[in-house]
Amino acid sequence: MTNLPKAAPAEGLPHTAQATEAKPQWIENLLKSWNSFWFEPTTPVAMAIFRIFFGIILLENMLVHLLPDFDLYYGKNSLVPINDMMSLYWHSSYYFDLMAALPADDKYIYGAFWVMVAATVMMTLGLCTRVSSWVTFLLLMSFGAHFQLNQNAGDNYLRLATMCLALSNAGDAFSLDNLIRATRQDWRKTGFGARLSAPWAQRLLQIQICIAYGHTWYSKMEGKMWNDGTAVYYAVRYDDLMRFPIPHIFDQLPIYMILTWGTLAIEFALFTFIWWRPTRYWVMAAGLSLHLGIEYCMNLPMFEWSFMLTYLLFIYPEDLTKSWNWLKAKIKDRFGEPYRLAFDGSCILCVRTIGLIHRLDIFGRIKPLDFTDKDNDAELDEVKLDRARAQSEILLQKRDGNWLGGFKAFRFISLRTPLLWPLTPVLFVPIVSFFAELMYKAIAANRKLILGSPSEVRQ
Amino acid sequence: MTATVFKILLLVAVFVAVLSATYPKQHAAIEEEKANNYDNTLMREVLRTQKNYQDATNNPASSTDQRLAAGNAYAATLSSQQRFEEAAKIYQDQLALTWGLVNNAYNQKWADANMHLAGAHRNLDNQPAALVCYDSVLKHDQEFLPANDPRIARDLNNVGLMHYLIATGKAEPADRKNEFKTSRDYLEQALALLEKNNQGSSAKAAATLWNLVLTCRDLDDKNASQNYKLRAQAIDKSLNRVCREP
């Protein structure tokens, strides 16, 4: 680019550089913090774990709570048919209800329900995550509007959280989308880390839960019974929602006062001290005990679990990694060193397959070693790798030092990789293993013809 | 950037499509509700019947039958709105209107007005006042109708039922028992009269029998109560009626 001479300032006008006064340091810091809070790229792992468990809660809500009484709520002859719902509850407000836009027939309502279930399953698995989570959100909203009388605060929270999920990059980790994307990459260049992205949707959800706690705390502070310390006594005796009674030994006024005021203290901390790093995990632990206590005493389907799950989003990424590494170390202590898996690094198909296995191997039970990489020579020579055999199939070393090759190695891996367990029994069916072995041999023999070598493949 | 804008536009399009497809239905539902809403319809009906009633009463040329019909229609709509006191007032006026229509003979219109008035008092939970009305109809019917007329059985059943309801509100056991006995006496007379008219297996007999089931039960005469119950159930079954036991 050519360096153009700077234009001189017009006469009488101050120079641009002089006109722009430097912002005060505190404003600079504030803006920096603001940007960092909302937009500094971070790992989507927390959001992805949240997505999986949250999807399970949604499915439980749909299949256990809604489906058995589906006709009563949403059928053509429901308790409050849609026309009455519109005239008596919607009034002139706008509501998003996809089913109301379709012909009034139960088959469309059922169809929409099963689409919602399918979308939720896909969202949970992370398949077409963005689209599936939007479809889930839009249909959740539709069903919420279609029959407003079975909605409580828990349902509202589910909708809000699903919207935040749809806005987030929750599909960038622990997802089929990610696995599919990974099969197109050479992990030796891209690594295995999840794609970093701006966490603003995660922050929205964090703030949302703080607003919920702030609101409930403020409302309780205005209540007489919350102030005199008896509220929990009545709450745990609310017949409609009662699950288990408080054990007799704790059924005492001083205990109820501690529980009542303790609830206020914990809820206050959950929208204030949770943002302060030194107290965050303590506050979360207190919040968990509060919700588990409520879950023990009161039957509020999925409400407590969806709130507790949201705490996942408050775990710092480095702590998530630390926790996972700790778990992997424990597994290693219990089950021994990971198994060596020798593969041909000059074959891109092998590289991608190994990448896939490594991603599925969440507990680190397999150690891939590229036998074409000089750095691995010492280790592979020590374990006496048959390099000639390794040219024709992947090899996995068992504990007794023997090597398993090809399909048998895959089957061995599947037994030790929990995410592949659903597939494992099939791999032991004789006819399947026979054909799978043939197929493996055919693919292995022509592997370089399929995708070529790394240098020939466009990344 | 283009992809993001496209996604946002797609989402907006979905919202616009759904809302614009839904809103006409919503609007139609609101309009239909306004037109057919039960409370609104009833209010219109009250206004209409009130006007008719006022026209009939203010018009010197209108006949007694016209006034009675207009009054009955107005009082019925008022009752549907739970405005029982106003309905009772109309029936009260009808008593005065019909009393002089017949001299020394059976006065059907007066009896009907009195029965309506009794119904209004029952709705107001004023059983003693209802009893006065039913009792006066009974006396009138006994005076001017043949001794075995089934309408007398109806009156006896009504009076018996009122005594039963009054008994349930008595605090003293002795007072209660006396009322139950009186009730049983009237009801058994009613049943006997129906049997004389070969209506012992009719729906009217079943109603009286069910009243007797309650009265005998509260008098602690369990055998009699059980017998009446079996007879009432047999009639209900023969008529294919599904009745909930009291």
Kindly state whether residues A124 and A261 are assigned to the same domain.
Answer: no
A180/A212 same-domain check? no
The answer on A221 and A180 residing in a single domain is: no
Question: Do A43 and A310 touch, CB atoms closer than 8 A?
Answer: no
- Ranges of residues in chain A whose predicted pLDDT is under 50: 1-15, 17-18, 455-459
pLDDT digits (tens, 9 = 90+) for B172-220: 999 999 999 999 999 999 999 999 999 999 999 999 999 999 999 999 9
Number of domains in chain A: 3
Domain identity same for A359 and A307? no
Inside any domain, residue A327: no
Chain A residues with a Cβ under 8 Å from any Cβ in chain B = 82-84, 86-88, 90-92, 94-98, 100-101, 134, 138
**According to DSSP H, which parts of A168-276 are helical?**
176-182, 187-190, 200-221, 224-228, 231-235, 253-269
Residues from chain B that touch A96, judged by Cβ atoms under 8 A, are: 15, 18-19, 22
CB contact under 8 A, B22 and A88: no
A104, closest residue in chain B (CA to CA): B25
The verdict on B230 touching A (C-beta cutoff 8 Å) is no
* Domain presence at residue B135: no
Q: A161 and A247, same structural domain?
A: no
Range of the domain at A100: 45-190
- Alpha carbon of A108: minimum distance to chain B alpha carbons (Å): 15
Tokens coding A5: 């001479």
> Nearest-5° angle of CA A94, CA A156, CA A151?
80
* Cβ-defined contact of B29 to A83 (cutoff 8 Å): yes
Query: Least CB-CB distance to B19: which of A82, A88, A96?
Result: A96
Nearest chain B residue to A100 by CA distance is: B22
CATH of the domain at A409: 3.40.30
Strand partners, A403: A397
Nearest CA in chain A to B17: A101
Q: Report the candidate in A178, A164, A165, A169 with the shortest Cα–Cα distance to residue A196.
A: A169
As given in the structure block, the two tokens for residue A215 are: 């609101």
Is B29 in contact with A87 (Cβ distance < 8 A)?
yes
Number of separate domains in chain B:
1
Query: Does some domain include residue A137?
Result: yes
Interface test with A, best of B18, B23, B34, B37 (most A CBs within 10 A): B18
Give pLDDT tens digits for A170-189.
Answer: 999 999 999 888 888 778 88
Q: What is the pLDDT of residue A344?
A: 87
Interval B128-135 mean pLDDT: 97
pLDDT in the model for residue B234: 94
Report DSSP state, residue A223. Answer: -
- Token reading at B59: 């018009």
Please indicate whether, in this complex, the C-beta atoms of B22 and A97 are within 8 angstroms of each other. Answer: yes
Contacts of A92 in chain B (CB under 8 A): 26, 30
CA of A91 vs chain B CAs: smallest distance (Å): 7
What global pTM score does this model have? 0.74
Verify that A286 and A167 share a domain, yes or no.
no
B205: in domain? yes
Q: Considering CB atoms only, which of A92, A100, A138 is closest to B25?
A: A100
Show the DSSP H helices in A61-199 as ranges.
70-74, 82-85, 98-101, 106-125, 129-146, 153-167, 176-182, 187-190
Q: Do B25 and A86 touch (CB under 8 A)?
A: yes
Confirm whether A366 is domain-assigned: yes
Asked whether residue B97 is assigned to any structural domain, the reply reads no
Q: Which domain holds residue B204?
A: 146-246
A347 and A309 inside one domain: no
- At residue A451, the pLDDT reads 60
Q: Is B40 on the interface with A (CB under 8 A)?
A: no
Asked whether residue A324 is assigned to any structural domain, the reply reads no
Q: Is the ipTM of this complex over 0.95?
A: no
